[in-house]
């Protein structure tokens, strides 16, 4: 049984999202990972190469898991610890059209395994600029990231008004 280690870098978390996709698609649909898909509350999303990839925090937050590792260790895994580690690199999308789109995608993704998301499911996306060079972590970039996060949680009508005002100023 491998030692469970929490991720310490955004790149590890992103790699784990990719690995989750590979593991769940490659392994039998009759394993603990697939059986618990409907139980996960915190999902992390990566959009790349025209695909939207989903993975739960209990997977994303631990380094180097396989489906077998998850089967053997899932009882001792702690989503609160992984969410705390991931919070600095990901932002929860709690309202608006982006959340609706991501939740619909999660629904479709889990339907492939005859599962539905938990009624308490949340989705988080990687913060803008996190995977860029660390030297670009400047105050203006952090401010832009904060503004984008705030925009994402606005209701749809408020997003439209914000966009209208922004275009007017630009």
pLDDT confidence band for 146 (50 / 70 / 90): low
Place 92 in a pLDDT band, splitting at 50, 70 and 90.
Answer: very high
Kindly tell me if the per-residue pLDDT of 66 is higher than 60. Answer: yes
Task: Strands of 49-148 (E only): list them.
Answer: 51-56, 90-92, 122-126
pLDDT band at 149 (very low <50, low <70, confident <90, very high): low
* CB-side neighbour CA atoms (13 Å) of 42: 18
Give me the pLDDT at residue 142, please: 62
Polymer length of the chain: 170
**Count of C-beta atoms within a 10 Å radius of residue 81:** 15
Instruction: Give the closest residue to 122 by CA, choosing from 149, 102, 152, 108.
Output: 102
Say how many Å lie between the first and final Cα of the chain, rounded: 56
The sheet carrying 122-126 orders its strands as 51-56, 42-48, 122-126, 90-92
What CA–CA distance (Å, rounded) separates 140 from 3?
A: 39
Contact indicator for 33, 21 with CB cutoff of 8 Å? no
| Chain mean pLDDT for the chain | 86
Q: How does residue 169 score in pLDDT terms, banded at 50, 70 and 90?
A: confident
Q: Cα(11)–Cα(159) distance, rounded to whole angstroms?
A: 30
Which residue in 106, 103, 21 sits closest to 65, CA to CA? 21
């Amino acid at each position: 049984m491998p030692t469970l280690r929490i991720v310490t870098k955004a790149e590890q978390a992103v790699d784990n999202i990719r690995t989750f996709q590979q593991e769940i698609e490659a392994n039998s649909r009759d394993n603990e990972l697939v059986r618990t898909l409907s139980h996960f509350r915190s999902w992390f999303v990566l959009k790349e190469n025209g695909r939207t990839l989903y993975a739960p925090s209990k997977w994303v937050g631990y380094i180097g898991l396989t489906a077998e590792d998850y089967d053997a260790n899932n009882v001792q895994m702690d989503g609160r610890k992984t969410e705390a580690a991931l919070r600095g690199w990901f932002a929860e999308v709690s309202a608006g059209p982006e959340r609706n789109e991501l939740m619909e995608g999660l629904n479709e993704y889990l339907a492939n395994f005859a599962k539905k998301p938990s009624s308490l499911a949340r989705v988080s996306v990687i913060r803008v600029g996190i995977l860029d060079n660390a030297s670009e972590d400047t105050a203006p970039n952090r401010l832009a990231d904060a503004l984008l996060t705030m925009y994402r949680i606005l209701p749809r009508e408020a997003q439209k008004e914000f966009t209208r005002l922004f275009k007017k100023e630009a």
